[in-house]
């Protein structure tokens, strides 16, 4: 397990500066060629202090979004540097529609070596 922990820590080091989570409302299937959020509604939020956190082979980022922000269906996510187009990944996971309430959101990546 030490090797996977070392690899996970290396991945986090390579993602230095990628301390934002972007959310959008597109449900277009993810593809390696995509370079950002595809939705007509998008929002970028800096991760909370102390993140990313590493536990075994998992990397977790956390955001807290204010009530007045990002009020649309959350269907796609990216880890990025806060600049559209500079993303580490894009995933499509419909989690619901955010209303005028505060949302806390954790995005966890699991590193698997095959």
Q: Could you tell me which residues come within 8 angstroms of residue 97 by beta carbon, excluding any fewer than 6 positions away?
A: 71, 72, 73, 74
Burial (0-12, 13-18, 19+ Cβ within 10 Å), 54: middle
Residue 83 has pLDDT above 80, yes or no: no
**pTM, rounded to two decimals:** 0.84
Pairing of strands 58-65, 53-55: antiparallel
- Percentage of the residues of the chain whose pLDDT score is greater than 90: 50
10 phi/psi in degrees, rounded to 5:
-65, -45
Tens digit of pLDDT for each residue in 34-78?
888 999 999 999 999 998 888 877 888 999 999 999 999 999 999
Average pLDDT, the chain: 86
Other beta carbons less than 10 A from residue 11's beta carbon:
16
């Amino acid at each position: 397990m030490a090797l996977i922990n070392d690899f996970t820590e290396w991945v986090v080091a390579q993602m230095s500066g990628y301390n934002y989570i972007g959310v959008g409302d597109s449900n277009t299937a993810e593809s390696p060629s995509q370079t950002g959020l595809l939705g007509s509604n998008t929002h970028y939020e800096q991760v909370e202090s102390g993140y990313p956190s590493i536990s075994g082979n998992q990397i977790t980022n956390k955001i807290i979004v204010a009530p007045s922000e990002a009020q649309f269906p959350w269907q796609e996510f990216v880890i990025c540097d806060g600049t559209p187009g500079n993303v580490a990944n894009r995933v499509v996971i419909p989690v619901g529609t955010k209303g005028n309430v505060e949302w806390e959101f954790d995005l966890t990546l699991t590193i698997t070596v095959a």
